[in-house]
Amino acid sequence: MPLLDVLNLEVRYGGINAVKGISFAVEEGEMVCLIGANGAGKTSTLKAVARMLPAAGEMHYRGERLDRLPSHALIGKGLALVPEGRGVFARLSVAENLAMGAYHRNDNEIAADLERIYAMLPRLAERREQLAGTLSGGEQQMLAIGRALMGRPKLLLLDEPSMGLAPLMVQKVFEVIRNVAAQGVTILLVEQNAKLALETCGRGYVMESGKITLADTAANLLADPRVRAAYLGE
Amino acid sequence: MDILLQQIFNGLTLGSIYALVALGYTMVYGIMGLINFAHGEVVMVGALVALSVMKPLAAAGLPGPLVVLVALLVAALVCMALGFTIERVAYRPLRNAPRLAPLITAIGVSIVLQQLAMLIWGRSYHAVPPLLPAESHEVLGAQITELQLIIMLVAALTMAGLILLVNRTKLGRAMRATAENPAIAGLMGVDANRIIALTFIIGSALAALAGVLVSANYGIAHYHMGFILGLKAFTAAVLGGIGNLAGAMVGGVLLGLIEALGAGYIGDLTGGILGSHYQDVFAFFVLIVVLIFRPSGLMGEKVSERA
Ligand SMILES: Nc1ncnc2c1ncn2[C@@H]1O[C@H](COP(=O)(O)OP(=O)(O)OP(=O)(O)O)[C@@H](O)[C@H]1O
Ligand SMILES: [Mg+2]
């Protein structure tokens, strides 16, 4: 049974049909990416999975109907989203943002997890008391990822973590993501940077104007002439 | 007698009450961008419920401060239930409606509450029994009553508690996160509905306290006392920068001071043309001036993105 199983997902904004009945699945322990051009419907898909948007279709998470849960119940089930544009709480400090990530937890390992995050993301450790709104884009992305990890997710959805970052910072962010995956967290990654996404993940889906047009292993997609032409600039 | 110092004492007393009420406006605005115009009426309900509890208890001969404490407790519970109900019934169904809809609803809720209060407590002015110590002391040539001291102290302690709650607790952190971005806070497991309900409940408890204090201060309570008080507290919140807790406190105290000083000096300033009953005009005049130069209030951030 897949960790996440999506069937005929459909998202509409008024008259616009942004996601047109797509189906996909993510197995436990996988790294899967969803690539596609601007406006293909990637963010809408992730938001629908995170129950931030009304959507039609069925979504199963560990066999449970996801589409019947409110958004705020998801993290308790192990599903976290790092949203497009990071979505850090600008007026909260770095430490408070990370604490928010552990909001649903009541165990006594929160402090230890916090230190682990700081060890993994030392730039954040140096800026604990700084307001998140004053961090650089890359630091904010690190914070958004760290905050999601504070919730101890089993499935992490990432929406364009490389957006707006300089190449060196993109490398660092992806290093962190690989690191997280190595610790056993399942990852569904949305990216514009198709090459990097396919090199990082095991499998991929290609989305075009609301539909999934290709689904294959990352290696096959990287070799596919259609992908090379449309997304790898060849 | 030192008029300046005297008016400062009076202004601080009044201002601490405005601040308590202003906090209710600002907390709700901060978290959901709504101006809850019915908040002043919750203050009124608090005052009148407390009064209804005080009368029989005082007649039974219980000690004054104990009676006030019990009355405050009952009033706070009633107001918290009322605030919760108002949010649930009047505002929640309009959460995604155009901004004007909840605003008009708020005015409707005010009218309903006022009319209900009129039916329950009648149209007359009620004398509030003087149950708290009110002895007057001379300080540097001005008179300050024990009641004034109690009002300032209770308000200050309550506000300090609120600041601690908002800035130092997990709930407060979730409130601030929700105010900034409810959808993202939801991803962290925060149920925005619960936070919003709690915000109304906390604001209403402050309103009940303010109602008890203001009616003790003036010695009267009546069914339409909430309107002008609410308007002034809203003014105080805007003056300080609506959405900003510290701003509401500063705005409230400032407004109280402006009003008291205005009332004390307006006669002299205008050569006797305007009397002290023009104090309200003075307060609103200052608001207008502040808003011309600082449209987002004294402590507000540059025009909030949700406004
Ligand atoms: N709130 C909205 N209201 C109306 N239309 C929307 C809304 N959000 C997205 N859309 C539309 O839905 C379509 C898909 O948008 P979406 O954000 O899901 O694309 P995307 O694949 O994430 O694009 P990008 O790579 O640029 O982030 C677009 O045509 C967009 O204009
Ligand atoms: Mg997107």
Q: Tell me the per-residue pLDDT of A164-185, one tens digit each, with 9 for 90 and over.
A: 999 999 999 999 999 999 999 9
- Name, in order, each residue with C-beta under 8 angstroms of A113's C-beta and a sequence gap of 6 or more: A102, A149, A150, A152
In a domain, B302, yes or no: no
Residue nearest to atom 11 of ligand 1 (CA): A18
CB A49 within 8 A of CB A66: yes
The model's pTM: 0.93
What are the sequence ranges of the domains in chain A? 4-231
CB A110 within 8 A of CB A103: no
- Assign B63 to helix, strand or coil: coil
Mean of per-residue pLDDT scores for chain B: 92
Exposed / middle / buried, residue A51 (Cβ in 10 Å: 0-12, 13-18, 19+): buried
Question: For residue A210, how far is its CA from the centre of ligand 1 (angstroms)?
Answer: 10
pLDDT at B265: 81
Q: Which CATH class is domain A4-231?
A: alpha beta
Which atom of ligand 1 lies closest to the CA of A11? Answer: 12
Contact B181 A87 (CB under 8 A): yes
Instruction: Give the separation between CA A78 and CA A57, rounded to whole angstroms.
Output: 21
Ligand positioned closest to the Cα atom of A36: 1
Domain count along chain B: 1
Domain extent at residue B146? 2-293
The type of residue at B129 is P
The type of residue at A93 is S
Q: Tell me the per-residue pLDDT of A209-225, one tens digit each, with 9 for 90 and over.
A: 999 999 999 999 999 99
Q: Tell me the per-residue pLDDT of A8-33, one tens digit each, with 9 for 90 and over.
A: 999 999 999 999 999 999 999 999 99
Strands A203-208 and A211-217: antiparallel
Question: For residue A70, how far is its CA from the centre of ligand 2 (angstroms)?
Answer: 22
The type of residue at B55 is K
Question: For residue A194, how far is its CA from the centre of ligand 2 (angstroms)?
Answer: 13
Task: Name which of A90, A100, A147 is nearest B173 (Cβ-Cβ).
Answer: A100
CB B286 within 8 A of CB B65: no
Task: Name which of A80, A89, A147 is nearest B180 (Cβ-Cβ).
Answer: A89
Task: Name which of B170, B177, B183 is nearest A92 (Cβ-Cβ).
Answer: B177
Instruction: Give the separation between CA B197 and CA B203, rounded to whole angstroms.
Output: 10
Question: Which one, of A140, A124, A132, lies nearest residue A92 by Cα?
Answer: A132
Tokens in use for B116? 């209900």
- Going through chain B in order, the beta strands assigned E by DSSP cover 126-127, 136-139, 142-145, 220-221
Percentage of chain A lying above the pLDDT 90 cut: 95
Q: Tell me the per-residue pLDDT of B220-277, one tens digit each, with 9 for 90 and over.
A: 999 999 999 999 999 999 999 999 999 999 999 999 999 998 888 877 777 777 777 7
pLDDT at A1: 86
Task: Name which of A87, A89, A104 is nearest B189 (Cβ-Cβ).
Answer: A104
Residue nearest to atom 7 of ligand 1 (CA): A13
pLDDT at B263: 83
Maximum Cα interatomic distance, chain A, rounded to a whole number of Å: 52
pLDDT band at A129 (very low <50, low <70, confident <90, very high): very high
Secondary structure of B174-191 in the HEC alphabet? HHHHHHHCHHHHHHCCCC
Instruction: Give the separation between CA B223 and CA B126, rounded to whole angstroms.
Output: 9
Mean pLDDT of A60-81: 96
pLDDT at B205: 98
CB A80 within 8 A of CB A157: yes
Contact A87 B184 (CB under 8 A): yes
Which residues have C-beta under 5 Å from ligand 2, the single-atom ion? A 43, 84
pLDDT at B28: 96
pLDDT at B304: 43
Exposed / middle / buried, residue A54 (Cβ in 10 Å: 0-12, 13-18, 19+): exposed
**C-beta A193 within 6 A of ligand 1:** no
- Going through chain A in order, the beta strands assigned E by DSSP cover 4-13, 16-26, 31-36, 56-61, 64-65, 79-82, 155-159, 186-191, 203-208, 211-217
Contact A103 B189 (CB under 8 A): yes
Q: Regarding predicted confidence, which is higher, A198 or B268?
A: A198
Contact B183 A71 (CB under 8 A): yes
Write down the residue that tokens 């043309």 correspond to. Answer: B273
Exposed / middle / buried, residue B270 (Cβ in 10 Å: 0-12, 13-18, 19+): exposed
Question: Which one, of B161, B300, B29, B178, lies nearest residue A96 by Cα?
Answer: B178
Backbone angles phi, psi at A65, to 5 degrees: -70, 110
Contact B177 A89 (CB under 8 A): yes
CB A84 within 8 A of CB A159: yes
CATH number at residue B201: 1.10.3470
Contact B187 A75 (CB under 8 A): yes
Which atom of ligand 1 lies closest to the CA of A14? Answer: 4
pLDDT at B269: 77
Residue nearest to atom 22 of ligand 1 (CA): A43
Mean pLDDT for back-to-back runs of 10 residues, chain B (307 residues): 88 97 96 94 98 95 95 98 98 92 95 97 95 91 94 97 97 97 97 97 98 96 95 94 94 94 80 76 81 86 47
Q: Any bridge partners for residue A93, and if so which?
A: A131
Ligand positioned closest to the Cα atom of A205: 1
Question: Which one, of B33, B29, B177, B178, lies nearest residue A93 by Cα?
Answer: B177
Question: For residue B267, how far is its CA from the centre of ligand 2 (angstroms)?
Answer: 64
Residue nearest to atom 3 of ligand 1 (CA): A13
Q: For chain B, how far is it from start to end, CA to CA, in angstroms?
A: 46
Instruction: Give the separation between CA B8 and CA A212, rounded to whole angstroms.
Output: 70
